[in-house]
Amino acid sequence: MIVGCPCALILAAPTAIVATIGRAARAGILVKGGGFLEEISRANVVLFDKTGTLTEGKPRIDAIVTVDGVTRDDILAKAASVEQHSTHPLARAVLKAAHYARVTIQHAEEVFTEIGLGVRAQVGGRLVEVGSAYLGGGSMQVPITLRSHFEAFKDTGATPLVIYEERKPLAVMSVADHVREMALLTVSNLKSLGIERIGILSGDHEKSVKRVADTVGIKDTWSCLKPQDKLNVITDLQDKDHTVIFVGDGINDAPALTVANVGIAMGAAGTHVALETADIALMKDDISKIPFLISLSRRMVKTIKWNIAFGMTFNVIAVVASAAGMLTPIMGAVVHNVGSVLVVLSSASLAFTSE
């Protein structure tokens, strides 16, 4: 009875999961449950958002082109008034430029975010919109005087923002962002782990997405996506029996973070919505931790399987030895505890996994 108690089996999984979550926490990775670690160990597709995830999320305004009669400061003031409460990285770029230009930011009313497209609000009694050309029906609706600049900005890989007043385009801004220093290494490490597909899901235009993809070594890209489109891409992959990890940081990423097998949010740079909906958070915004987490999760699963196999074998041998009269009750109690301790030590080794 003593040696047959399955304590080692009972401890096989929980101890490994706790040790793994603890090791991940020391690496700046917040895991919200052990089940997500098991999912990560099976993942064969990793998809990234672009802005704020593969890029630094610190975009800057490189150029502003306006229609006749409108100044650069006028545009910055209007755009900043609309974007002043937004947490999107592009909004932060607008506000930073407005701050340096020392323009007056007005109070905005009836602020509404068109997910994946931009923001609109009433500023000084007039409707002002900032965002994609699709806010106004597409780039062909942009005046010819601005359209050439719009296309030129896209060709450089920058994100063009169009500023409208009362539905009329007034200016185009060129907003550029730098690729994260560790992005290339992260993608390379994911490939070395045997991840079958690595891709980018982005609401930005194709050339901007392609530029980042080429820089970090990613082949699969999806551009001009709305939040629902990102969700559809993920579910399509899941329908083909892929286990999908999605990494994002913004409000636009919340549906994708929710539907992915494992959603990973950028903790420091991410929005509250992204952090709430994600299963895992990178508290230091270091995407190079993702390959480490996958490797750690795979090791956890192997450890659990070893613990179970060892516990079962150890118990069977102990029961047979006891039935043959080779173990006294005291020896049986000692042997039983030894088996449990060995399983705990096996799991504890996960806490010392090197990155």
Q: Pairing relation of β-strands 118-123 and 126-131?
A: antiparallel
In sequence order, which residues have a C-beta less than 8 Å from that of residue 61 and are 6 or more positions away? Answer: 93, 94, 96, 97, 173, 174, 175
Residue type, 332: G
CA–CA distance, 273 with 122 (Å, rounded to integer): 25
| Strands annotated E in the chain | 29-31, 45-48, 60-66, 108-114, 118-123, 126-131, 159-165, 168-176, 197-201, 220-222, 244-248, 262-266, 280-282
- 49, 177, 253, 285: the active-site residue: 49
Q: At what angle do helices 34-42 and 7-26 cross, to 10 degrees?
A: 80
Backbone angles phi, psi at 64, to 5 degrees: -135, 125
Q: At what angle do helices 289-323 and 7-26 cross, to 10 degrees?
A: 160
Q: Pairing relation of β-strands 168-176 and 197-201?
A: unpaired
In sequence order, which residues have a C-beta less than 8 Å from that of residue 244 and are 6 or more positions away? Answer: 43, 45, 46, 47, 234, 237, 238, 260, 261, 262
Residue type, 42: R
* Alpha-carbon torsion (53, 97, 271, 255), positive or negative: negative
Active site residue 239: no
Residue type, 56: E
Active site residues: 49
